[in-house]
Structure 1
Amino acid sequence: MHPQNPQDEMIAYCKENSVLPEAWSPLIQGQAFKRELLLELAEKYKVSVAQLCIRFIVQKGAVPIPKSANPDRIRNNADVFGFEISDEDMEKIASLRVYGRIGDPPSVPRTHQVVGF
């Protein structure tokens, strides 16, 4: 799950079944920093693009799992509870839909079928 693949059906299914979903790579492996809408909204809320994407995931009801080895970025990524994205802006972010999975490099063989939402 990430801004380009919000997985609304999966979130609804998880909520109905008392499952807390995880969002791996919520920054779209760095692609989020190239999306004009995300840059504009980050400026509007006076936060980083990373914080905006992570907050988007939190407000969708999932646990974001961003990766960083940089202590400053780790702290920044955790500082997402001082603002709330409006419903209108949540819809704008969700409209970035591309429905692509992130994190399946070609060098990793597929040993199973990917099923789901």
Structure 2
Amino acid sequence: MDKEFLNVRTLASLLDMSEQTAYKLSRKGVIPGRVKVGKSVRFNKEIVMNWLQNKELVMIVKTDNLYSFSQAAVILGISPQRLFELTAVPGVEKVNQNNRIFFTKESVRKLVLQGDVK
């Protein structure tokens, strides 16, 4: 069976993000299917496409004032489970749009200042 792979440029284009962001998110484990081939990085196309089609996936949404759940976890350097625990307490501003949870930049900043994220 011949596996197909995507290079980072193709992946970044598919996800509508910069190549640098795609590398960063793949290193953090947000984007699955990362494979090292010599000095280069490729992405297993089947794994990536299944990930994109997963209905439970919280997609990375580019906005000026809001971070998606996944983006906030990556920015804070914590697992999504830990982010869920931290945001369950009152005082953390969350925005619900189209059945997705977003965080304002200010609420992410407050979580960093609390010192509980590392």
Q: Same fold (TM over 0.5)?
A: no
1 or 2 for the larger relative contact order (CA 8 Å, sep ≥6)?
1
Instruction: Please give the TM-score of this superposition, normalised by the length of structure 1.
Output: 0.25
- Which structure has the highest strand share of the two? 2
Provide TM-score, normalisation by structure 2: 0.25
